[in-house]
Amino acid sequence: MAVTVRIPTTMRPISGGASTVEVEAGTLAEIVKALETAHPGFEDRLLEDGALRRFVNVFVDDDDVRYLQGLDTVVPDGQTVSIIPAVAGG
């Protein structure tokens, strides 16, 4: 089965303009790999030194993966993964 990944506006050029992408369920690390395979460039935007970038927030449904198991978080079929870049201002 699949999970739906919500793509933020700033990353939609990587996904060919798609606001959502469906990939196979698994761990978050596997989902990032699947995104990278389907749309090269996602790993560079999401990961740094094998971990989630500091200013990219990822949620499985309403739960921040940083408070779960990070990239080892299991994402079951039918769930939604949301990528939310941090916003800074001044």
| Residue carrying structure tokens 């990939």 | 23
The residues that bridge with 4 in the sheet, in sequence order, are 22, 80
Residue pLDDT, tens place only, 16-69: 999 999 999 999 999 999 999 999 999 999 999 999 998 999 999 999 999 999
User: Residue 89: pLDDT above 80?
Assistant: no
Question: Where does the pLDDT of residue 15 fall: very low under 50, low under 70, confident under 90, or very high at 90 and above?
Answer: very high
Q: What is the dihedral of CA 61, 66, 71, 74, to 10 degrees?
A: -40
pTM score: 0.91
Residue 72's φ and ψ, nearest 5 degrees, are -85, 0
Q: What is the CATH number of domain 2-85?
A: 3.10.20.30
